[in-house]
Structure 1
Amino acid sequence: MEERSAAKSHKIILGNRRTGNFTGVRDVISFDPKEILLETEMGMLQIKGEDLHVSRLTLDKGEVDVQGIVTSMVYSEVENYGKKAENFLGKLFR
């Protein structure tokens, strides 16, 4: 298991709970107006709110901008969430 200190940089800038700039994003797992799920260098990040949308996505740089009303942000330590889901779907449709 790799240590968090060896991970790339991850930063959140949240302005007035309405605009968010995120760096260190590996993937956008899902998004809808009430929830955005990001895989970041520091773990999975669940963003909840109202009228949420991804206004800019640059995964080659690991950057995501979000707009809407943010009510909560929660990290979890689930690793490779998207890859596990792909494997499950791949097995299901074989």
Structure 2
Amino acid sequence: MEDKRNFSRTGKPHNITIENRERISISGVTNVVSFDEETVILETDLGVLTIRGQGLHINKLNLDDGQVSIDGEVINLNYSDKSGLIGKSGGFISRMFR
């Protein structure tokens, strides 16, 4: 039996394309939470996406279309629930420094 659930909440597609671990293109992005050369944190319709790597650089950002393109060495991608971004115990920044 095939699972054909539609996970997109806004009707916009959420896709990720990685080219040789050097460039990542993402659609369905609603917000850039934070970024530096080692971590980019994005809100998507399907949860918070954390991208870890080295020399990361956002070279294209269009939140109206939900498009983000990042260059650099991609090491790890991780999804978490949107509720994990701001929780009862302070918030994202306070939890980072625990």
Q: Quote the sequence identity (%).
A: 35
Q: Which residue of 2 aligns with 1:15?
A: 19
Q: Kindly provide the CA deviation profile for residues 49-85 of structure 1, in whole angstroms up to 9, marking residues without a partner as x.
A: 000010000000000000000000000012494xx59
Q: Which residue of 2 aligns with 1:53?
A: 57
Aligned length: 83
More helix by share: 1
Runs ≥4 residues deviating over 6 A:
none
SS of 2:21 mapped into structure 1: coil
Q: Which runs of 5+ in 1 are unaligned?
A: 89-94
Q: Which runs of 5+ in 2 are unaligned?
A: 91-98
User: TM-score if structure 1 supplies the norm length?
Assistant: 0.78
Distance 1:69-1:6 versus aligned 2 partners, 3 A rule: closer
Q: State how far apart, in whole Å, the 1-side matches of 2:8 and 2:49 are.
A: 19
Q: Which residue of 2 aligns with 1:40?
A: 44
In structure 1, give the amino acid aligned to 2:82. Answer: V
Q: Which residue of 2 aligns with 1:92?
A: none
Q: State how far apart, in whole Å, the 2-side matches of 1:45 and 1:6 are.
A: 14
In structure 1, give the amino acid aligned to 2:31. Answer: D
RMSD across aligned positions (CA)? 2.2
